[in-house]
Amino acid sequence: MNIVIADDYQNCVRKLDCFSLLEGHSVTIHQAPPEDRAAYIERLRDADVLVVVRERAHVDAELLAALPRLKQVALVGRHSRYIDYAACTRHGVAVTHGIFASPIAPAELTVALILASRRQVVFEANRMRAGQWPATFSSRLDGSTLGIYGLGVIGTRVARACAALGMKVLVWGGEGSAQRAQEQGYEMALSKQDLFTRADVLSVHLRYSDRSARAVTRADLDLMKPSALFVNTARAELVESDALEQALLAGRPGFAAVDVYENEPIMNGEHPLLKMDNVVCMPHLGWADRETFELYFGEAFEQVRLFATGGALRLANPEVVVRRA
């Protein structure tokens, strides 16, 4: 089979142990994003199987119509809102998916971003590299208040780590967050406004959905302290468009740290947050450590192997008539 891996941004898939699951097949890997839609279609034209990372690829009716050879989309992850599952079913394309979701890597990166921002790690490291004298005071975490917006599996790990560093944990969210806050001994904010007003560091860990989209507004950010840090490693779309950039320019909050953006990947440094010294920006790599890659890509490649050998598949569109030949 011709297998195309569409979006290996870090050029690391061939280094994974699980890559051996694709032995015996022709594998083409693309690292850089395509210039446009036509170039993307041309890349995939000969694919029997397309392996895509959850939030990086759009698979819709137009693309499927241009790829008559395509029989399987192997999703790296559990679900993608960028895949038209109904269109895949109509075109006889099986969509397989993973079952695991590890909170460890994104939680660790969140804590790293909090420490890097509060202790001015990136700013001062860059000044030192440029031969410049130190220029900032940093702020300790001990004794300050961590606001967690959404105490799920990732938020719980972040709260636990920051509490171990001496932070007071303040939580806001739905019923599940309230229950977990009570079980874990954290204070529940009186309201969302109370959370944003009191937090010295506020980290968003909501699960993205139509209901949670744009849950953080400019009015919320305006409530934050001029010394406060806003952290988002969940989804950019949880925040009102352009609200964070505008709020930072207005001075509330005073700092931000993010690894998510509305249009990814960010190329050529073209994003307003990258122009701000009070913001720590990472590529969208919160999930991307070796262990997670082995887990997620291993699931996807195992589904490709089962497709090739006639095995039972884990289908995201179970009503599809699978075409193996």
DSSP state of 278: T
The Cβ of residue 44 has, within 10 Å, a number of other Cβ atoms equal to 22
Instruction: Assess whether 271 carries a catalytic annotation.
Output: no
Instruction: Assess whether 235 carries a catalytic annotation.
Output: yes
Q: Which amino acid is at 254?
A: G
Going through the chain in order, the beta strands assigned E by DSSP cover 2-5, 26-29, 49-53, 72-76, 94-96, 145-149, 168-172, 187-188, 201-204, 229-232, 255-258, 279-281
pLDDT tens per residue across span 100-124:
888 999 999 999 999 999 999 999 9
126 backbone dihedrals φ, ψ, rounded to 5°: -65, -40
202 backbone dihedrals φ, ψ, rounded to 5°: -120, 120
Q: Rounded mean pLDDT of the chain?
A: 95
The answer to pTM > 0.85 is yes
| Residue in 91, 118, 235, 271 annotated catalytic | 235
pLDDT tens per residue across span 131-156:
999 988 899 999 999 999 999 999 99
Position 301 confidence tier, pLDDT thresholds 50, 70, 90:
very high
Tokens of 128: 């030192």
Do 308 and 285 touch, CB atoms closer than 8 A? Answer: no
| Residue in 124, 264, 294, 302 annotated catalytic | 264
Instruction: Assess whether 284 carries a catalytic annotation.
Output: yes
As beta bridge partners, residue 147 has 170, 202
| Residue in 245, 252, 284, 299 annotated catalytic | 284
Distance CA 84, CA 208 (A): 18
Q: Identify the structural domains of the chain with CATH numbers, from first to last.
A: 2-101+289-309 (3.40.50.720), 104-281 (3.40.50.720)
Tokens of 297: 């890509």
